[in-house]
Chain A
Amino acid sequence: MLADWILAFAPILVILFLMIRFQWGAAKAGPAGWLVAVVVAAGRFGAGIDLLALAQVKALLLTLDVLLIVWAAFLLYRVADEAGAIDIIGKTLPRLTADRGMQALLIGWAFASFLQGVGGFGVPVAVTAPLLVGLGFSPLAAVLIPSLGHAWAVTFGSLASSFQALIAATGLPGETLAPASATLLGLAGFGCGFMVAHAADGWKALRRLAFPVLLLGTLMSAAQYGLATNGLWNIGGFGGGMVGLAVGILIAPWYRGEQSQKSESRLDRRSVLLALSGYLALIAITLLVQLVPPIRAFLGRFAIQVSFPEMRTSLGYLTPAGYGRVIPLFRHAGAILGYASLTAFLIYKRAGLYSAGAAQRIVSGTIRRVMSSSLGIASMVAMAVVMSHGGMTDTLARGLAGAVGSLFPLASPWIGALGAFMTGSNTNSNVIFAMLQQRTAELLGYRLPLILGAQTTGGAIGSVVAPTKIIVGASTAGMAGKEGIVLRSLLIYIAILIAGVSLLVFAFTKVGLG
């Protein structure tokens, strides 16, 4: 029934309306969406108090699963930033080449992807846009380049918080979801590279820089794929970016440009290595925890595990009994990030990189920065779980399946992108739309990992044009108040990228991969 479908869509519609029309943030619009979801679930879809209450408990587990990573990822970033590590890396890169296109690839693609891998939250654009302006790029190009460059790394970036949200929302194992997601994101990575080259130096750069784009694209995508599909998805984006950065530094001097610089010899390799040491610690700890069975087993012994009874609405929609999200406290990606943050802090402290009061600034800066996004995530996760348990997601999926039918794979990345555009993040998009995409794919008989890969790839790319990111990017490049110009320019590139992903997904389904 159309009325039911519209009512089921109402919470999402309310969020969209508030965020786009009134420019509310996720922390403000999310609670409104939850309130509408609860009223509709209880009033129209027959969700009783017990069902709503247990949905809230399930939502708490899913929220913790995502928030632990978000909090710890930003803590690690703050540990490095307070030590000046990000600044050192950023200032080193432009010395390697005077070729504008190559500078853009190195800073706006490889370095921005690395920053997305370790930080996210708009950090890639905020850090690299001023660097590019300083190198003589126009403010518009300085925003476009890193915005496009880091898009492919968003899902497995921020220590894979968006991917963790996809796992949490769908209940599917990461091992099942990772191959398709990493493949689509990796392929999108090539598009990002070519678009960075184009935004930096026009059409002529595409041919001139084809080799570094293909080389770096292949290596970064392969690194991300290899890590993500071997259970190391929390360092997938970070690993990809790091490989790109390392190889980019090696090949950058081949593209010296017209004003060849001889400053390479002035590079302080020890400072750079020290700056990177915090992140090298993360790699070492992750490998240790994930690949050494006794350590993995020991840390996995302490887990939060809650069982839930069967839940049924008065209209008969059934959620089977089972466990909620299991959180292995000491083996969780958030815990691993915590260990890495502590190790990095000790390394930087021993090297004398901190001034007095650094620890307090790191902790307070982290808490201040994550509070708003935590509220947004908590409320939107709760909304999505209420919708799912109340049968609203199922109603939406049935309507969508009936409306688009065999064209669903084409629409799937656009849905993810729309969610990210509306909510400002790939994580939120996955929380809101992953269950809907999953249910629709089930009804239409498509392979779930491919459709969910399309959801998160669309979400990753779409997050780049989210108003909040545009505002951050524009303000750091000196384009405050000109966000409309940035948005218009970015939309063209982003639409081409998503259309490409759409066609890929459609093609995969036609050749039997979906």
Chain B
Amino acid sequence: MSGYKSSSERDKFRLQTVALSLILLPALPLYVAVHAGLHWASWILMGLIAVGMVVGMWVS
């Protein structure tokens, strides 16, 4: 991505992208995990979403 005023702005954008991905993407395997009764997988994926939320909070 070009056009950033500073490298910190670019880093912020990248981390926000990571955070948004962590919040949204685990939902897909979560659906499968719940239907397959894989509770351990559900916990891990919910943990990933929580990490995404924390990263989003920290970087924004």
Contact = CB atoms under 8 A, between A and B. Distances in A.
Interface of A: 24-25, 27-32, 34-35, 38, 49-50, 52-54, 56-57, 59-60, 63-64, 306, 360-361, 364-365, 367-368, 371-372, 374-375, 378-379, 382
Contact of B57 (A28, A367, A382): A28
A60 B27 contact: yes
Interface string B1-20: 11110000000010011011
B60 A27 contact: yes
Contact of A306 (B2, B31, B33): B31
Most buried by A among B28, B50, B56: B56
Contacts of A364: 1-3
Given A364-B3, A375-B16, A50 B42 contact: yes
Nearest to B1: A364
Interface of B: 1-4, 13, 16-17, 19-20, 23-24, 26-28, 30-31, 33-34, 39, 42-43, 45-46, 49-50, 52-54, 56-57, 60
Contacts of A365: 3
B13 to A, nearest CB: 6
B60 A25 contact: yes
Nearest to A49: B42
9 closest cross-chain pairs (CB), A and B: A31-B53, A60-B27, A27-B60, A28-B60, A31-B57, A53-B30, A53-B42, A57-B31, A57-B27
B57 A53 contact: no
A35 B55 CA distance: 12
12 contacts: A30-B56, A49-B43, A53-B33, A56-B26, A56-B30, A56-B46, A63-B24, A360-B2, A367-B1, A368-B1, A375-B56, A379-B23
Given A50-B34, A57-B27, A60-B27, A379 B56 contact: yes
Nearest to B57: A31
B46 A375 contact: no
A27 B16 contact: yes
Contacts of A367: 1, 13
A53 B45 contact: yes
B53 to A, nearest CB: 4
Tell me the interface secondary structure of chain A in the complex: helix
A382 B46 CA distance: 12
A54 B54 contact: no
A31 B39 contact: no
Nearest to B3: A364
B2 to A, nearest CB: 6
A49 B54 contact: no
A101 B48 CA distance: 55
Contacts of A60: 24, 27-28
A24 B33 CA distance: 34
Contacts of B56: 27-28, 30-31, 375, 379
A375 to B, nearest CB: 5
Contacts of B43: 49
A30 B57 CA distance: 8
B24 A378 contact: yes
A365 B52 CA distance: 23
B49 A375 contact: no
A64 B2 CA distance: 26
B19 A375 contact: yes
A31 to B, nearest CB: 4
Contacts of A32: 57
A393 B34 CA distance: 24
A25 B59 CA distance: 11
Contacts of B19: 375
A371 B13 CA distance: 7
Contacts of B54: 31, 35
Given A53-B42, A361-B3, A375-B23, 19 more contacts: A25-B60, A27-B56, A28-B57, A31-B53, A50-B34, A50-B42, A56-B27, A56-B30, A57-B27, A57-B28, A57-B30, A60-B27, A364-B3, A368-B4, A372-B16, A378-B20, A378-B24, A379-B23, A379-B53
